[in-house]
Structure 1
Amino acid sequence: MTTREDATALVLRMQECFNSRRFDQAADLHTPGFFSHPLGVPGFEAGKRAWRALVARYPGIRVVAQDILVDGDKAAVRSTVEGITAADGDEGPMLFEIFRIDDGRFAEMWGAGSGFPPAAGPEDVVAG
C-alpha cells in the first residue's frame, strides 16, 4: 500500500519536474507501462510531448497542488494552474487528477481540468 507521505512526495516531485522543465527526470517517476487515460496512450513520452507543448504555448505555466488525497494505491490531486488566464478571466484554471501508484511510481492517470481557455488543456494542446 502507498503511504500518504510517499504519494504526496511523488506528486510534488512530478510537479517540480514540470515547473522546472526537467521533463526527462519526470519519466523516472512513471512505470514503463504507464497509461494516461486523457491522452489515451501508454508510456510517458506522450505526457512529455504534452508538457513541452503547454510550455511552448504558455512559458510561465506552473502547477501547484492544493489538495492530495490518498486511498490505497490511488492519489487524487487538485492543483491550480498559474501562468494561464482562466477562460472566465477569474480564478486560474484547475487540474483534477487521479493517479494509480505501483511500487512507488505512477502507473496510471485520469484527469480533467476546469477554467482553461478553449483548446488549452494538456490533451487539447497535444491534439491541436
Structure 2
Amino acid sequence: MTTRDDASALVLRMQECFNSRQFDEAEGLFTPDYYSHALSTIGFEAGKEVWRQVVTQFPDMRVVAEDVLVDGDKVAIRSSVHGITTPDGATQPTLIEIFRIEDGRLAETWGITEGPDPRAR
C-alpha cells in the first residue's frame, strides 16, 4: 500500500521529470497499462510524446504544484503553468489532475486545464 507521503511524492516527482525534461526517467513512474483519460491511451508513450510536443512549442513551460490532496489510492493536484505566452499575455492556465496509484506507480489519470489555452494564439 502506498502511504499519503509516498503518493504525494510520486506525483511531485512526475512533475519534476516534466520540468527537467527527463521524460524517459518519468516512464518508470507509470504502470505498463497506465490509462490517460485525456488522451484515451494505454501506456505512457503517448503522454511522453505529448510532453515533447508541448515543450517544443513552449520551451520555458513548467508546472508548479499549488495543492496536493491524497485520498486512498487517488491524488488530486492543482498546478499553475508558467513559462508560456497566453492570448491575453497575463493569465496563466491552471492544470487540475487526478491520479490513481497502483503498487506505488501512476496507473490512471484524469485532467482538465482552466484558463486561456496558449495554443489559441
TM-score range, shorter chain: over 0.9
Q: Is the 8 A contact 2:84 2:118 kept in 1?
A: no
Q: Return the alpha-carbon distance in structure 2 between the equivalents of residues 34 and 3 of structure 1.
A: 20
Q: Distance in 1 between matches of 2:92 and 2:85?
A: 6
CA deviations on 1:67-96 (whole Å, 9 max, x unpaired) are: 000000000000011111334433311100
Determine helix, strand or coil for the equivalent of 2:79. strand
Preserved CA contact (<8 Å) 1:80 1:94: yes
Whether contact under 8 Å (1:85, 1:117) holds in the other structure is: no
CA distance in 1, matches of 2:48, 2:92: 23
1:103 aligns with 2:100: no
Tell me how far apart the structure 1 counterparts of residues 96 and 116 of structure 2 sit (CA, whole Å): 12
The match for 1:48 is 48
Unaligned runs of 5+ in 1: 121-128
8 Å CA contact 2:67–2:77 kept in 1: the answer is yes
TM-score, normalised with respect to structure 2: 0.92
- TM-score of the superposed pair, with normalisation by structure 1: 0.88
Q: Specify the alignment match of 2:21 in structure 1.
A: 21
**Kindly tell me: are residues 86 and 114 of structure 1, through their superposed partners in 2, closer, same or farther at Cα, counting changes over 3 Å?**
farther
Alignment size in residue pairs: 120
Q: Quick one: which amino acid aligns to residue 8 of structure 1?
A: S
Unaligned runs of 5+ in 2: none
Instruction: For residues 39-82 of structure 1, give each alpha carbon's deviation from its aligned partner in whole angstroms, at most 9, with x where no partner exists.
Output: 00100000000000000000000011110000000000000111
Q: Say if 1:26 and 1:116 are closer, same or farther in 2 by CA, change over 3 A.
A: farther
RMSD, aligned CA: 1.4
Q: What amino acid is the match of 1:32?
A: P
Q: How far off is 1:118 after superposition?
A: 5.4
